[in-house]
Amino acid sequence: MKIYIKSILRGSFLAGMLLFISSCEDYLERTPEAVVSEELAFQNFINFQGYVEELYHCVPNFTLSNWVSSFNWGEDEIESTAGTFTTGYHFDRGNFWRWQVANGAGSNGFLDANSANTNRDHKNKGLWPLAWYGIRKANIGLENLSRLVDATDEERQLIEGQLLFFRAWFHFSLIQYFGGLPYVDQALPSDQQLTLARLNYHQSAERVAEDLERAAELLPINWDNTVAGRRTLGKNQQRINKIMALGYLGKNYLYAGSPLMNSESTGSRSYNTDYCKKAADTFGRLLQLVEGGETQYALLPFDRYLTNFHTMGQNWALPGGTEAIFRSPYYSANDSHWRISKQYKPTFMDEGDPTNFYPTANYVHANFGMANGLPLPVDVTQADPESGYDPHYPWKGRDPRFYAVIVYDGVKVVQGSIPDPNEAANRFANLHRGGSYREVVTGSLSGYANRKISPLTANKYDRAYDWGSSLHLNVPYMRLADIYLMYAEATLMGYNSVGATSATFAKTPVEAVNVIRARAGMVDVHQKFLGSVDIFLKELIRERAVELAFESHRFNDLRRWLLLTEAPYNIKTSYEFDRAGDFNADDPTQNRIINMSEEVIIERNYTSKHYWLPLKLADVMLYPEFNQNPGW
């Protein structure tokens, strides 16, 4: 027996020896050969700026968020019958869950996406994931600022300024839709339970303001004038500067001071004068710099007004010119060719998707008034002697921006030839009752069409969307005209007077509005509306609606003014009419119409819960302090 045991032991020993001899500890100890060390990222300006610049790709481009892009969710726009998948369609029906991918958004809309993509695909970007990714990235950067040794003070300021701006911008972008959220100011640890509580709106806005204030101090007006910025001389338009920081600082204050946000935090459904004053002073600082000629910004002249939104034949230049302050980067200017440039006309005109977007009649009627500064009557089928509005010639004598932005019945859409005589009738926008542009599936439901974002010639005959035209569409996040109007609103409500000025800028609210109107060749605000703060405020609201129409502002404006659920802001209408008399092809304003009626297309049955978007269930089910918005 001993022998057996011996031999068993010997066998085991030999087998064991084999293993020991052949073992080498570090077979799996592979330092990944392509390892990039964290230190490298922060060691000098060039690397750190490389680290920072991914943040620019975290800003979604709402203009190009899918094949068709729905980004006007107020009462301003209606999609064609086919567009039942769009965010706008579902928001109209009260389904605000629809902003979420988990609730069917897919890649429609810019608010959500499957993950935080910083690549160059417009369609994969969503604000929610990208904002949180960007905030984390900014925080890691800020925590590692001390590692930036090999840099000048100016360089360090540029880095810190950008990081602070983005941290604030992402938070601000979220709280405007969702209300107060935690303000994440550190790279959160991965091995701890995260239970940050939601702040209220004002608390969040204070934190945003803190960062933006500091960013404005650190950043230059124009990178071209800095030593570091000279590396990219002439190519710094998109880099974050003092003006952007001030613009968003002001906007943040104005939002905090707006009725919705004020009621969320204080319960008062009026403007918060403190925040409005801060907003006014901030915008004032900005405008003072602009009007003092210290910046690269200026309003575009009216003949180039639409280059704020699209350029053609300019080597794909990003729209915006000197007026745009903050825009998302673009990756392929021709992306708009695939659908967005074709989403404003019936599909038979532009070979696009059957989903198209049209201005609602109620919006056009309520806001785009007469050239003399007076609005249309409430009942547009009736004449208005005061303004000179003639319901049979409703297109006569209107605000110049009406002609620049709105396609109305009879406008000559096709400029070139139409080979097929059967199709010749489509040269003109036949938006009257039964007209070809009112085609049931893809045509206008409202009797109007939009030429602001995409030009008339983006049709299958003129083919402005073809490569050779270099058509580039992009709606800016923030442009100078918006600053003037926000300045006017903030000053009016902060200093509670039509004639007041802010502490930092010498224009009154009325003067600020008139700057914008003058640019459009529009008369000054009518005397009639200067009587009181409230009356002027209504006119200011109308002015915003005209100047900033279809630029994605209306939904948030209605919300912050607490008007979203109120009549008449809760209906969308169409304008039905027949043509009468001879058709004037050369001057469509001379065309006479009869049998007019304004019909309700949809009434938006909203309740107070619709002032905030619902948060994701995945977030609100984690712990009680990150609670869902009321009513959802």
Partner 1 sequence: MDKNVLRQLIMLSKYVAYGFAVQLFFTTVLMAHTGNAQNNGIEEITVSINAKNEDLKSVFRKLEQQSQLNFTFNSSVIKVNNIRVDLVEQDKSLSDVLKKIADQTQLKFVRINQNIHVSKREAVEETVKEVSKVADFREITGVVIDAREQLPLPGVSVVLKGTTRGVVTDLDGKFRIDAESGDVLVFSFIGFASREILIDNQTVIDITLQEDTQSLEEVVVIGYAEQRRETVVGSVVQTKGETLQRTGGVSNVGQALTGALPGLITTASVGTPGEEMPQIVIRGQNSWNGNSPLILVDGVERPEFFAQMDIGSVESISVLKDASATAVFGSRGANGVIIVTTKRGLNGKAEISANFSSTMKSVSKIPGKMDSYDAIGVRNRAIERELSLVPNSWNEMIPQDMRLKYRFPANLEEMERYPNVNWQDVVFKDYAMAYNANVSVRGGTDFVKYFSSIDYQHEGDLFNQFETGRGYQAGFNFNRINFRSNLDFQLTPSTKLGVNLGGTHGVRQAPWNYAFPESYWNSAYRSPPDVFLPRYSDGTYGTYIPDDYAVTNSLLNLAISGTNQITSTRLSTNFVLEQDLGMFLKGLNFRGTLAVDNSFQENNRGINDLYNNPNTKWINPLTGESIYRNILDSNTRFDFVEAITWNHAGGTVNNGESQRRLFYQMQMNYAGSIEGIHNYSVMGLLSRQEDAIGSIIPTYREDWVFRGTYDYKNKYMVEYNGAYNGSEKFSAENRFAFFSSGGLGWNISEEGFMKNQSFVDVLKLRASYGEVGDDNVGGRFLFMDEWLFGNTSQLGVIGQSGENSPYTWFRQNAVGNPNVQWETVYKSNLGAEFRFLRGLIHGSVDYFKDNRVDILMTSGRSVPSYFGTNAPAANLGRVVTTGYELMIGLNRTLDNGIRLWGDFAMTHAIDQVINRDDPLLRPDYQKQAGYQLGQYRSHATAGYYNTWDELYASPQHNVNDGAKLPGNYYISDFNGDGVVDDFDSAPYGYSGVPQNTYNTNLGIEWKGLSLFLQFYGVNNVTRDVGLGSLSNGLNLVYEEGTYWSKDNPNADSPLPRWRSQPSPFNYGPRYLFDGSYLRLKNTEIAYNLPSEKVRSMGLSNMRIYINGNNLLLWTKMPDDRESNFGGPSGQGAYPTVRRINLGLNVTF
Q: Restricting to residues 203-232, name those near partner 1 by CB under 8 A.
A: 231-232
Among 235, 269, 304, 538, binds partner 1 (CB under 8 A): 235
552: its two tokens:
């994605």
Candidates 38, 217, 566, 587; binder of partner 1 (CB under 8 A) is 38
CA distance linking residue 584 with residue 578, whole number of Å: 14
Q: Which stretch binds partner 1 (CB under 8 A): 52-60, 271-279, 498-506, 582-590?
A: 52-60
Q: How far apart are alpha carbons 144 and 159 in whole angstroms?
A: 11
Query: Residue 137 interacts with partner 1 (CB under 8 A)?
Result: yes
Q: Which of 146, 417, 422, 527 binds partner 1 (CB under 8 A)?
A: 422
**Bond from prior residue into 568 cis (ω within 30 degrees of 0):** yes
The reply to whether 528 sits near partner 1 by the rule CB under 8 A is no
Which of 273, 261, 198, 274 lies closest to 559 in space, CA to CA? 261
488-527 footprint of partner 1 as x/- string (CB under 8 A): ----------------------------------------
Q: Tell me the torsion sign for CA atoms 532, 534, 537, 539.
A: negative
619 counts as binding partner 1 under rule CB under 8 A: yes
**Residues 365, 376 contacting (CB under 8 angstroms):** yes
- The interface with partner 1 within residues 450-489 (CB under 8 A) comprises 470
Q: Does 128 bind partner 1 (CB under 8 A)?
A: yes
Within its chain, how far is the Cα of 162 from the centroid? 20
Site for partner 1 in 377-406 (CB under 8 A): none
d(CA 240, CA 225): 13
Report how many residues bind partner 1 under the rule CB under 8 A.
Answer: 116
**Residues with Cβ < 8 Å from 364, sequence gap 6 or more?**
402, 406, 446, 448, 575
Q: What is the dihedral of CA 373, 378, 383, 386, to 10 degrees?
A: -40
Using rule CB under 8 A, residue 586 touches partner 1: no
**What percent of the residues of the chain are helix, what percent strand, and what percent coil, each to the nearest 5?**
45, 10, 45
Nearer to partner 1 among residue 528 and residue 623 (C-beta): 623
Residue 369 CB, nearest distance to partner 1 (Å)? 30
For residue 38, count CB atoms less than 10 angstroms from its CB and return exposed for 0-12, middle for 13-18, buried for 19 or more: exposed
Among 183, 91, 159, residue whose Cα is nearest residue 558: 91
Give the tokens for residue 19. 């293993």
Which of these ranges, 134-142, 211-219, 478-486, 558-566, lies near partner 1 under the rule CB under 8 A? 134-142
List binders of partner 1 among 401-420 (CB under 8 A). 419
351 binds partner 1 (CB under 8 A): yes
Least separation in angstroms between residue 265's CB and partner 1 is 20
Q: Which of 78, 111, 168, 181 binds partner 1 (CB under 8 A)?
A: 181
User: 576 in helix, strand or coil?
Assistant: strand
| Interface stretch with partner 1, choices 96-104, 298-306, 404-412, 579-587 (CB under 8 A) | 96-104
Nearer to partner 1, 272 or 347 (CB): 347
Judged by CB under 8 A, the chain residues 140 through 159 that form the site for partner 1 are: 140
Nearer to partner 1, 137 or 559 (CB): 137
Give, as one character, the DSSP assignment of residue 368.
S
Binding part of the chain for partner 1, among 299-307, 348-356, 542-550, 560-568 by CB under 8 A, reads 348-356
Q: Do the Cβ atoms of 478 and 325 come closer than 8 Å?
A: yes
Element (H, E) at 601: strand 592-603
Residue range at the interface with partner 1 (CB under 8 A); choices 116-124, 391-399, 491-499, 549-557: 116-124
Strands 571-580 vs 592-603: parallel, antiparallel or unpaired: antiparallel
**49: contact with partner 1 by CB under 8 A:** yes
Each residue 327-346 as x (binds partner 1 by CB under 8 A) or -, in order, gives --xxxxxx------------
Which neighbouring-strand residues pair with 403? Answer: none
CB of 247 or CB of 369, closer to partner 1? 247
* Segment near partner 1 (CB under 8 A); pick from 2-10, 296-304, 356-364, 491-499: 2-10
Q: Does 568 bind partner 1 (CB under 8 A)?
A: no
CA distance 515 to 520: 9
The correct pick among 117, 238, 446, 502 for binding partner 1 (CB under 8 A) is 238
Sign of CA dihedral 169, 171, 172, 173: positive
At residue 24, what are phi and psi to the nearest 5 degrees? -130, 135
Does the footprint of partner 1 cover residue 177 (CB under 8 A)? no
Integer-rounded Cα Rg, in Å, for the chain is 28
* Min separation Cβ 142 and partner 1, Å: 13
